[in-house]
Structure 1
């Protein structure tokens, strides 16, 4: 959204805002006329619900549908509430089935049911079939509108079929090849069909298919589509019968949404699922307050550790000066490891089965970091205070970095193994855990080295 807003000049923004403020529809229409659909989406993302409805109503009909399809489902839902029923019904019917399902998930049940009843029978059946899949499954995000060809067809027959279905197909550049009962046996690109002799059998030019099962995670299927660098990925049922297709643009949207969700949870918040400027203050507070309460309760562990070692701090007051440095370094080390492994999990580079390998690698990385930081801390602290204090700080950093890196690397894998979002166990929880255990390590080393 930031990039899209950046494409708007200050004068364009000012013209639109002034027309909205004065409710001058003629001036608003003139201000919107030179803008692209992407720029208008950016404007809608900056506007409140009333302004959004006004902006949308002055758009030309052909541009209105393109803009609506580009909006986040949450904004589509808001817009539906501000439009007349006949306008909403027409928009809803013109949407692709996968976009329609996303919007239905955002709408109140009564509104969703009314819109479904108003659809033509074919569109209603396509949409209802997708709604039958689990919420996070790729079957709910695929397109059921595709062109398939048979292996026994000639290239000329296949191209003729593509030509007949141009109007209602999601994509024609990658074509699934099926046998009886829609069983997937291959894929063929439009380029290959055009290059082949007219009498060539499709089976002779098709490739081995990569596919996704309709019930598997949408994120996993989208990741596979992106990794394979294919324009479309067939989606099949449990009997390998073709039920839909995932296009690369839909795959990228799924991955962008998953990335935003992971980043929010890594930072200790819940994802907003809508542009920032359209989110209410209440929703912003709600997305953050639960995590802050959980982490505040977790932080009492740190307080309890300090209370246990209160007498140690009283004997060597200098030790208190290094508490922020040590818990900050430990938390940052753990967070770096967790972020790296969480990203590797998302990319499919590692999985729960690699826990041992990741743990060993992060132990070595943590030890190396600890030795570097510990040696530096020992030198500086010994010069300013005394060698004994320097030894405590140096040894603590070695132990703390090793422990924090191991915990940070292992927690996302353990979370995935128990079917919990790895991002939930990333930075906030790891920081809290490392703070408490780091202080425990610090004071135990201090007692042993200083004899207190």
Structure 2
């Protein structure tokens, strides 16, 4: 059996053991699994069975597993545990993970958990909670090692050793002055290779940093693009307040990419594994978009009704309606997806809308000429050249329009602080379906004289 089959078999074994109240068998089965495998099994179990299995994990392993779960699943799991277990898990989390979980919990539960924290942990958590939603301040870790620029390498190494157990990372070490203002950064490798008496000011490098109020996704993308092990986070006065490690940056980017892909496909993001998502939530994630698209489709019906007499005179035109609207929608979706991705990678900004429109207009025109030429030849062979001309000219016009609009809409969305993905495939498809048919019938009336 391959890995997927083994995983499925293990999950079924544990499910049967839990359903039969054979907790010893379930304990023995889960003891053989890695943390990642335990997470995978928990994601495939029902809510009650998940809580039962989680209680069978040793405390140290349980917190490792809990940290790997999505925040929404963490919130759901806590509801199935005893109050003392919940408090212990919550206290053991890193401050940034704790804040992410609090965002998923009801306000009353969140307040109770906060009150149960030791004063120092409560203060750190409250500070992070005070930063704006979706800012990097909500996702940074305050558990870092900072060094002063007047330290020697030997003193710096001693400071690092004292914080090995509680620091998020020691590979990237911010250097500050007496006022905690960031002045540089030094890597652990540089410390280990420098002479013990060397002052840090002599070996530190220019730091890369983000403001604590900067967008979390943009900061994470910067960390990934620069290939940093950690991105330093500072306040408005460039004082050191936290650090974003590369693993947290990748988690932010993964969540952002999942959200964009969901909205491009006309659904809301699930924010949890598919098999662990209730059917009701799956329905809610899709129904709003389907209603929107259904209402948009009424425009297509109205266009057909307006040009009903044209269809009556040349019935053949009706055969090509799916081709016309399908090609236009696909062309617009391609352009919108390409530009949305370019926005995410900072390849373009809303200020580039003129250049994007000009580029997509040329791309759409080129695609239209290519597809229209092929359609003209094939349609003329099967029907006649006049119908072929209608189809060919329509494809040229629709591809040009669809690519231009599809490329522009994500930039318009970004400029008004809306999600570019929302303006992508579903919106473009609805828009192009209606306008494409108008163009189609206008071209038919002009060419065929009807």
Question: Shared fold by TM > 0.5?
Answer: yes
Question: 2:165 — aligned with what?
Answer: 167
**Structure 2 match to 1:12:** 10
**Which residue of structure 1 lines up, in the alignment, with residue 131 of structure 2?**
133
* Secondary structure in structure 2 of the residue aligned to 1:229: coil
CA shift digits 1:287-343 (9 cap, x unpaired): 111111111111111111111111111100000000000100000000000001101
Q: Secondary structure at the match of 1:9?
A: helix
Greater Cα offset, 282-291 or 386-395? 282-291
- The equivalences for 1:300-379 within 5 A come to 300-379=298-377
- Gapped runs of 5+ residues in structure 1? none
- 1:7 shift after superposition: 7.9
Q: How does 1:280-299 map to 2 (within 5 A)?
A: 280-299=278-297
1:151 to partner: Cα distance: 1.1
Q: CA deviation at 1:8?
A: 4.2
Distance 1:37 1:280 in 2: 24
Q: Per the alignment, in what secondary structure is the counterpart of residue 130 of structure 1?
A: helix
1:36 alignment partner in structure 2 = 34
Matches within 5 A, 1:47-58: 47-58=45-56
| Distance in structure 2 (CA, Å) of the matches to 1:338 and 1:14 | 42
Q: What's the CA shift for 1:217?
A: 0.7
Matches for 1:139-178 after TM superposition, within 5 Å: 139-178=137-176
Q: Choose from 270, 284, 291 the match for 2:268.
A: 270
- 1:9 Cα deviation from its structure 2 partner: 3.4
1:440 maps to 438
Q: SS in structure 2 opposite 1:176?
A: strand
CA contact (8 A) 2:15 2:49 kept: no
| 2:147–2:176 CA contact under 8 A, matched in 1 | yes
| Secondary structure of the corresponding residue to residue 150 of structure 2 | coil
Residues 425, 97 of structure 1: alpha-carbon distance in 2 compared, 3 angstrom cutoff: same
Corresponding residue for residue 426 of structure 2? 428
Measured in 2, the distance between the counterparts of 1:60 and 1:145 equals 25
- Residue 11 of structure 1 and its aligned partner are, at CA, apart by 3.5
Shift of 1:279: 1.4
Match of 1:27 in 2: 25
How far apart in 2 are the matches of 1:7 and 1:150? Answer: 54
**How many angstroms apart in 1 are the aligned matches of 2:303 and 2:369?**
25
Partner residue in 2 for 1:110: 108
Q: Distance in 1 between matches of 2:6 and 2:213?
A: 41
- From 253, 256, 260, the equivalent of 1:255 is 253
Rounded to whole Å, the distance in 2 between the matches of 1:242 and 1:157 is 20
Query: Is the contact between residue 11 and residue 44 of structure 2 (CA under 8 Å) also seen in structure 1?
Result: no
Query: Contact 2:14–2:26 at 8 Å: present in 1 too?
Result: yes
Shift of 1:182: 1.0
Normalising to structure 2: TM-score of the pair?
A: 0.98
- The C-alpha deviation readout for 1:160-193, integer Å capped at 9, x for no partner, is 1011111211110000111122111111100000
Identify the residue that residue 385 of structure 1 maps to in structure 2: 383
RMSD value, Cα: 1.2
Q: CA deviation at 1:10?
A: 4.1
Q: Which residue of 2 aligns with 1:195?
A: 193
Do 1:7 and 1:39's aligned partners in 2 also have CA atoms closer than 8 Å?
no
Kindly state the Cα deviation for residue 14 of structure 1 after the two structures are TM-superposed. 3.0
Give the conservation status (yes or no) of the 8 Å contact 2:209–2:234: yes
Q: 1:7 to 1:123 in 2, by over 3 A?
A: farther
The answer to whether the Cα contact below 8 Å between 1:8 and 1:39 also exists between their aligned partners in 2 is no
